[in-house]
């Protein structure tokens, strides 16, 4: 009876919708139609059913099997069929999602479809480079495309919603999750956030190739004390407003469908129960009206944070603060109804949250067709297809960062015998990276395979593993045991090095040495790799060091002794092809770092846009200035840094005028010339320094960039426009400040650029 009623309502609303599409107010009309539908569904729901929409479980395919978990997990099963589960994570594939959807739609009283969510972080089946690697490309269009392809694969597998992008600004390479984001700069992180959201969501969530995205983790997770995962975050309001929040604000502007809160407490308030973040900023200041999901049991963890004595109180604090869906915490399903009935919380809070969930379901088109994403034919065509592998290769090539290339050893030429040494050289799994969704284990092209294909047939390629990187299990859940003792492969590797013209060493971190729960106190090459590298270097210093890792590493010794260093991250499906083609010069590297590489772990956190301090420097030999006595203040490789086989020359910066007002702008122009004989790409970066401000300003901040293709010998003239929003900052009270005075604009190849002109805002 109820379903007959739905059908009638939907058909008449659909007709109204079709009419609305032909007029210019179509979008707002369809929005208001959705609001009407949301309200009509809400009005039919019992309190328990409403709470059910806020309950999310992680369920495997066994729940869709013949027994439907009846015997084994009868509580969850009962909840599913009585409409007390609103969304499910980690259930995949058209067959499984269809069965689960059927179970709920056919059995529950109102038949409200489920949302299927999953962590599609850098690919679903086809693995793209890890997000930190992709960010090094600074290629927004390409990042949008990889997100789009990942979203299309996920949508074709029955999924509706990804928990990505992670847009936490990260300044501490000890934190394992730096691999999931776009590094240390808030502006670049914001631009990349928008590109990825556009990629996942497209213009129309109801399209069967798009999925809902999530801006996570709100907020401050990237500033975990000492880079230790889940750790407390203590930051001042200036950092919050200027470094942490801008990417989230950008995500709101890009219409991101959902927000996820964070595990950490921030200035003594857990993010999950943080009214200031979730209400004052997200809802009131930014006007966000999407849904907020908790992180995994982060509501339950309020008890561990010791702000709640029990789960009931945790549920109360979280819903009042604005955490709307309880992911795997059992806090809401067990307590919210009771809290309402007892008069401890207002049902209006629940209604608002449910409205957000229902609206997302409508936007995805699930009420019209709950099975629209479960189409086996589409799944076969789209998931892991050839075009996506090609796109992954293209992205991998742009993500590589050339850190050092002495004597122009690269691109490789005239080497007859090459030794390929290292635990990652033939590794087909590491390049897939952590958070790899449904990637097939060991399915990446290894570096060795790539080289075999790319090098001329008269080059002799020899291989030795040299050393094992880890021992025992290598997976998402378990701690990796690093090999600290077994040197049995050293001898063979050394012999090989001795008899070769060149050594390519593939070292770094396995896929599961970075990512969630993988913080490291020591960020040098793990295990015995450095020892092996030193011994090889003593025999044959002609080394190309290819690094595969998920975070900035400490490479001070390597930088001093090894002539060539290529940062190849975890590059995804065709990593080996991308690296090999870069080594031989078929691909000219163009990536630039989005996180500073420190000289020493003791410098962390390190980021280019730091404050000047009251003692920036002093006369040589004096000690009373801000520094470590044993390490230089600068990073080893700065933000924005990366080499190319081409060489670029920058002209002086020219300004259209020496001052501007709030109403006008200044055009910055200069030319960049490729003075080499190789076509290349250059990422031109514009930074602004506010000379004097009411609150201590950073030394400089990235405000714009352009990635340009410049042919050998060609010169390109470029312009940037300085507008008032590039000169403003957030004061600690959150207000935007635009202060008159002097500024410097820098344009160049990385964050240490000196090429600048001064101007003023009048």
Is 57 near ligand BGC (CB under 6 A)? no
Q: Report the nearest approach of ligand BGC to the CB of residue 56 (Å).
A: 10
Among 184, 326, 516, 554, interactor with ligand BGC by CB under 6 A: 516
**Given the complex with ligand BGC, which of 295 and 690 has the nearer CB atom?**
295
**Given the complex with ligand BGC, which of 258 and 542 has the nearer CB atom?**
258
Q: Report the nearest approach of ligand BGC to the CB of residue 58 (Å).
A: 7
Q: What is the dihedral of CA 375, 372, 1, 332, to 10 degrees?
A: 110
Report the alpha-carbon distance of residue 117 to residue 461 in Å, rounded.
45
Structural element, H or E, at residue 36: helix 26-44
**Given the complex with ligand BGC, which of 64 and 298 has the nearer CB atom?**
298
**Given the complex with ligand BGC, which of 295 and 427 has the nearer CB atom?**
295
Q: Report the nearest approach of ligand BGC to the CB of residue 471 (Å).
A: 26
Q: Report which residue's Cβ sits closest to ligand BGC.
A: 163
Determine contact, residues 738/723, Cβ cutoff 8 Å: no
Residues numbered 203-232 forming contacts with ligand BGC, rule: CB under 6 A = 216
Residue with tokens 């065709």: 574
**Given the complex with ligand BGC, which of 218 and 637 has the nearer CB atom?**
218
Instruction: Give the per-residue contact string, 142-181, with ligand BGC (x = CB under 6 A; - = no).
Output: ---------------------x------------------
Token pair in block for residue 697: 């300003």
Burial of 524 (0-12, 13-18, 19+ CB in 10 A): middle
Cα–Cα distances (Å) from 179 to 222, 451, 550, in that order, read 11, 26, 5
**Phi, psi dihedral angles at 390 (to 5 degrees):** -65, -40
Is 373 near ligand BGC (CB under 6 A)? no
Instruction: Give the per-residue contact string, 91-110, with ligand BGC (x = CB under 6 A; - = no).
Output: --------------------
**Given the complex with ligand BGC, which of 5 and 476 has the nearer CB atom?**
476
Report the alpha-carbon distance of residue 33 to residue 480 in Å, rounded.
52
Q: Report the nearest approach of ligand BGC to the CB of residue 306 (Å).
A: 20
Burial of 554 (0-12, 13-18, 19+ CB in 10 A): buried
**Given the complex with ligand BGC, which of 119 and 690 has the nearer CB atom?**
119
Q: Report the nearest approach of ligand BGC to the CB of residue 119 (Å).
A: 5
Report the alpha-carbon distance of residue 32 to residue 44 in Å, rounded.
19
Residues numbered 273-312 forming contacts with ligand BGC, rule: CB under 6 A = 295-296
Q: Report the nearest approach of ligand BGC to the CB of residue 312 (Å).
A: 23
Determine contact, residues 333/57, Cβ cutoff 8 Å: no
Catalytic-role residue among 295, 326, 375, 429: 295
**Given the complex with ligand BGC, which of 138 and 161 has the nearer CB atom?**
161
Number of residues that bind ligand BGC (CB under 6 A): 6
Report the alpha-carbon distance of residue 374 to residue 353 in Å, rounded.
27
Determine contact, residues 628/729, Cβ cutoff 8 Å: no
Sequence-distant (≥ 6) Cβ neighbours of residue 51 within 8 angstroms:
84, 332, 333, 336, 337, 350
**CA-wise closest residue to 684 among 714, 727, 642, 713:** 642
Whether 501 is a known active-site residue: answer no
Token pair in block for residue 582: 């870069």
Report the alpha-carbon distance of residue 208 to residue 227 in Å, rounded.
39
Q: Report the nearest approach of ligand BGC to the CB of residue 163 (Å).
A: 3
Q: Report the nearest approach of ligand BGC to the CB of residue 672 (Å).
A: 39
Please give the residue ranges that form the binding site for ligand BGC (CB under 6 A): 119, 163, 216, 295-296, 516
Residues that are catalytic: 295
């Amino acid at each position: 009876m109820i379903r007959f009623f739905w059908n009638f309502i939907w058909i008449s609303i659909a007709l109204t919708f079709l009419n609305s599409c032909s007029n210019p107010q179509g979008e707002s009309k369809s929005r208001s139609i959705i609001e009407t539908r949301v309200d009509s569904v809400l009005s039919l729901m019992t309190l328990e059913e409403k709470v059910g929409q806020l309950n999310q479980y992680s369920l495997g395919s066994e729940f869709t099997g013949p027994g439907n978990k009846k015997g084994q997990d009868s509580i969850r099963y009962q909840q599913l069929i009585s409409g007390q589960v609103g969304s499910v994570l980690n259930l995949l594939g058209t067959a499984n999602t269809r069965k689960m959807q059927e179970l709920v739609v056919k059995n529950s009283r109102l038949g409200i479809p489920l949302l299927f969510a999953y962590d599609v972080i850098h690919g679903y089946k086809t693995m793209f480079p890890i997000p930190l690697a992709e960010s090094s490309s600074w290629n927004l269009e390409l990042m949008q495309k990889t997100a789009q392809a990942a979203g299309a694969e996920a949508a074709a597998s029955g999924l509706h919603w990804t928990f990505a992008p992670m847009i936490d600004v990260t300044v501490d390479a000890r934190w394992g999750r730096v691999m999931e984001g776009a590094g240390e700069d808030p502006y670049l992180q914001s631009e990349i956030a928008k590109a990825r959201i556009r990629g996942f969501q497209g213009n129309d969530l109801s399209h069967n190739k798009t999925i809902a995205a999530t801006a996570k983790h709100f907020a401050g997770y990237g500033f975990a004390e000492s880079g230790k995962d889940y750790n407390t975050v203590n930051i001042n309001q200036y950092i919050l407003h200027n470094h942490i929040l801008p990417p989230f604000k950008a995500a709101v502007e890009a219409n991101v469908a959902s927000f996820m809160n964070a595990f950490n407490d921030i200035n003594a308030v857990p993010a999950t129960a943080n009214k200031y973040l979730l209400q004052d900023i997200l809802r009131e200041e930014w006007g966000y009206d999407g849904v907020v999901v908790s992180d995994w049991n982060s509501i339950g963890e309020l008890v561990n944070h010791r702000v709640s004595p029990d789960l009931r109180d945790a549920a109360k604090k979280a819903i009042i603060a604005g955490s709307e869906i309880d992911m795997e915490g059992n806090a809401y399903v067990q307590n919210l109804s009771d809290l309402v009935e007892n008069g401890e919380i207002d049902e209006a809070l629940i209604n608002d949250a449910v409205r957000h969930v229902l609206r997302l379901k409508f936007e995805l088109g699930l009420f019209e067709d709950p099975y629209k994403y479960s189409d086996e034919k589409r799944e076969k065509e789209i998931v892991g297809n050839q075009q996506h592998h090609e796109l992954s290769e293209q992205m991998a090539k742009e993500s590589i960062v050339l850190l050092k290339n002495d004597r122009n050893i690269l691109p490789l030429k005239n080497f007859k015998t090459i030794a390929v040494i290292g635990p990652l050289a033939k590794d087909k799994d590491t390049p897939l990276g952590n958070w790899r969704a449904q990637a097939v284990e060991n399915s990446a092209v290894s570096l060795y395979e790539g080289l075999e294909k790319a090098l001329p047939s008269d080059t002799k390629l020899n291989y030795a593993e040299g050393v094992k990187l880890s021992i025992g299990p290598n997976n998402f859940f378990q701690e990796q045991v690093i090999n600290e003792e077994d040197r049995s492969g050293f001898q063979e590797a050394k012999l090989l090095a001795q008899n070769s013209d060149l050594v390519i060493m593939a070292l770094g971190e396995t896929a599961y040495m970075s990512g969630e729960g993988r913080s490291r106190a020591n960020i040098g090459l793990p295990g015995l790799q450095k020892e092996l590298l030193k011994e090889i270097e003593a025999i044959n210093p002609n080394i190309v060091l290819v690094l595969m890792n998920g975070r900035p590493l400490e490479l001070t010794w390597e930088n001093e002794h090894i002539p060539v260093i290529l940062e190849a991250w975890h590059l995804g499906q065709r990593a080996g092809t991308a690296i090999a083609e870069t080594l031989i010069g078929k691909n000219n590297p163009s990536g630039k770092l989005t996180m500073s590489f420190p000289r020493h772990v003791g410098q962390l956190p390190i980021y280019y846009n730091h404050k000047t301090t009251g003692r920036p420097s002093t006369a040589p030999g004096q000690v009373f200035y801000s520094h470590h006595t044993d390490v230089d203040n600068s990073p080893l490789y700065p933000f924005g840094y990366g080499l190319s086989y081409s060489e670029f020359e920058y002209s002086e910066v020219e300004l259209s005028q020496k001052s501007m007002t709030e109403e006008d702008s200044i055009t910055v122009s200069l030319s960049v010339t490729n003075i080499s004989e190789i076509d290349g790409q250059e990422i031109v970066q514009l930074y602004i320094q506010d000379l004097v401000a009411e609150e201590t300003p950073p030394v400089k901040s990235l405000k714009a960039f352009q990635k340009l293709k410049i042919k050998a010998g060609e010169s390109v003239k470029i312009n940037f426009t300085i507008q008032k929003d590039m000169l403003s900052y957030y004061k600690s009270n959150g207000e935007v400040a635009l202060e008159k005075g002097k500024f410097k604009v820098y344009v160049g190849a990385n964050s240490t650029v000196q090429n600048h002109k001064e101007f003023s805002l009048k």
